[in-house]
C-alpha cells in the first residue's frame, strides 16, 4: 500500500509540482463537497520531554462526496478554493466500520 501512495504522489508531483500531503481522519462531512480532516501529531516537549499531542483541522475539497466520518484519508495542498479550503482529497486510505 505504501508503494502505491508513493507512486501516486510521484505522478502528481510531475503534473502539479511538489505539494505537501497529510494523512488524517475525517471528523465532519456535513458540508457539500467539503470534509474536515483532523491531523494528530505527537512530539516531545522541548524542555520536559513529555510526549504531547497536537491537533490541527483542515477543510479539504471532496469533489464526489466520497469520504465519510471516521475514514482515514490523504489530503494534499492545492490553490485556495475558498476562505478556509486550501487542501483536496487525494485518496481514501481506509474506511470506517
Per-residue model confidence as pLDDT tens digits over 22-81: 999 999 999 999 999 999 999 999 999 999 999 999 999 999 999 999 999 999 999 999
Domain ranges, residue 48: 19-94
Report the length, in residues, of the chain: 97
- CATH at residue 32: 2.40.50.140
pLDDT at 12: 59
63 within domain boundaries? yes
Question: DSSP assignment of 41-93, as one string?
Answer: EEEE-TTT--EEEEEEEEEEE-TT----TT-EEEEEE-S--SSSEEEEEEEEE
The pTM assigned to this predicted structure is 0.79
Kindly state whether residue 5 falls inside one of the protein's structural domains. Answer: no
Confidence check: pLDDT of 20 > 70: yes
Domains held by the chain: number = 1
Residue 15 is predicted with a pLDDT of: 74
Which carries the bigger pLDDT value, residue 49 or residue 1? Answer: 49
Task: Look up residue 96 and give its DSSP letter.
Answer: -
For residue 1, being part of any structural domain is answered with no
Amino acid at each position: 500500500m505504501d508503494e502505491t501512495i508513493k507512486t501516486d504522489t510521484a505522478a502528481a508531483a510531475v503534473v502539479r509540482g511538489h505539494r505537501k500531503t497529510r494523512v488524517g481522519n475525517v471528523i465532519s462531512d456535513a458540508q457539500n463537497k467539503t470534509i474536515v480532516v483532523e491531523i494528530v501529531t505527537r512530539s516531545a516537549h522541548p524542555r520536559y520531554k513529555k510526549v504531547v499531542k497536537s491537533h490541527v483541522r483542515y477543510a479539504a475539497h471532496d469533489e464526489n462526496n466520497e469520504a465519510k466520518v471516521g475514514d482515514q484519508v490523504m489530503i494534499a495542498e492545492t490553490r485556495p478554493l475558498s476562505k478556509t479550503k486550501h487542501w483536496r482529497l487525494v485518496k481514501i486510505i481506509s474506511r470506517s466500520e
